């Protein structure tokens, strides 16, 4: 594992309890949708499981064997403590499993932290058996390059472990290239309250002020697309675009 990945794992590991308590990660119809896409599988893998919420939902959906994998040992320990899953410390881009090991895999709101998302997609395709399903979700960038640059800029300032949000078209291209046929794409937006969003990553007062300035001075098109809500000069919340993608190994 690279030094960059170790730093990312350490940062997330130190926030394991915060992510377990986070309503954005613990609740939501998106979590249930991903779990429903895995229903009927016999052995499922949740990549970058975080505190294990999605792995737990997959287990609750009736999948008898669920592996919760994450690069942060503290996250894996939290997942195993809270849900009936098996934990494995693993790099999402170098999964320690044999070919064709699972008939379902999931990854929820994590891939924007991966330095090499194409390798992640290739690894998931490798460990899925033919006919196996991938239930994938991540925050996504707009197709417009200027708006994507704005969103990625505020994400990096808020969280230095953020690498990049990608548009749906790029995810579709990577999945298809790896032999994963896209069956469904659902797009929506998740409403993020500004205070908890900055608190989860311990944003400094100076960086918080800079984030608010960027939202205040954003182009009107960005304010409209991200549905930014203000109270005076303070940012209350904004809507982060996301996509849920179901793909199947050919």
E strand intervals along the chain: 43-47, 65-70, 86-89, 102-108, 128-139, 180-193, 229-231, 234-249
How far from chain centre, in Å, is Cα 37?
Answer: 16
Q: What pLDDT score does 200 carry?
A: 84
The candidate with the shortest Cα–Cα distance to 71, out of 124, 3, 9, 159, is: 9
Give the residue extent of every domain in the chain: 3-143+161-191+241-249
Please state whether the predicted TM-score (pTM) of the whole model is above 0.75: yes
Which CATH superfamily includes the segment(s) 3-143+161-191+241-249? Answer: Vaccinia Virus protein VP39 (3.40.50.150)
Q: What are phi and psi of 88, to 5 degrees?
A: -140, 130
Q: What pLDDT score does 237 carry?
A: 98
Q: What pLDDT score does 13 carry?
A: 46
Q: What pLDDT score does 28 carry?
A: 80
Residue 150 CA to residue 48 CA, distance in Å, equals 25
Contact (CB, 8 A) for 83 and 49 = no
Q: What pLDDT score does 5 carry?
A: 64
Contact (CB, 8 A) for 107 and 124 = yes
In eight-state DSSP terms, residue 22 is: -
CA distances from 70 to 32, 113, 232 (A): 20, 12, 40
How does pLDDT run along the chain (250 residues), one tens digit per residue?
665 666 655 555 445 556 555 655 655 899 999 999 999 999 999 999 998 999 999 999 999 999 999 999 999 999 999 999 999 999 999 999 999 999 999 999 999 999 999 999 999 999 999 999 999 999 999 999 999 999 999 999 999 889 999 999 999 999 999 999 999 999 999 899 999 999 988 899 999 999 999 999 999 999 999 999 999 999 999 999 999 999 999 9
Torsion of CA 32, 19, 202, 162, to 10 degrees: -60
């Amino acid at each position: 594992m690279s030094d960059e990945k170790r730093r990312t794992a350490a940062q997330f590991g130190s926030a394991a309890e915060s992510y377990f308590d986070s309503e954005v990660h613990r609740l939501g119809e998106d979590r249930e949708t991903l779990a429903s896409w895995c229903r009927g599988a016999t052995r499922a893998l949740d990549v970058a499981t975080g505190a294990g919420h999605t792995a737990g939902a997959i287990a609750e959906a009736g999948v008898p064997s669920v592996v919760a994998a994450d690069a942060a040992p503290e996250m894996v320990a939290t997942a195993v403590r809270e849900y009936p899953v098996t934990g494995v410390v693993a790099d999402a881009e170098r999964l320690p499993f044999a070919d064709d090991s699972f008939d379902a895999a999931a990854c929820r709101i994590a891939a924007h932290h991966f330095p090499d998302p194409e390798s992640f997609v290739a690894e998931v395709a490798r460990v899925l058996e033919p006919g196996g399903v991938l239930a994938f979700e991540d925050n996504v960038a707009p197709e417009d390059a200027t708006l994507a640059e704005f969103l990625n800029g505020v994400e990096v300032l808020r969280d230095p472990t953020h690498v990049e949000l990608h548009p749906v078209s790029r995810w579709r291209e990577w999945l298809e290239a790896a032999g994963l046929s896209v069956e469904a794409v659902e797009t929506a937006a998740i409403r993020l309250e500004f205070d908890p969003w900055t608190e989860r990553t311990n944003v400094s007062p100076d960086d918080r002020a800079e984030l608010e300035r960027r939202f205040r001075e954003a182009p009107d098109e960005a304010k409209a697309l991200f549905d930014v809500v203000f109270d005076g000069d303070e940012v209350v919340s904004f809507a982060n675009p996301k996509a849920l993608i179901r793909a199947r190994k050919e």
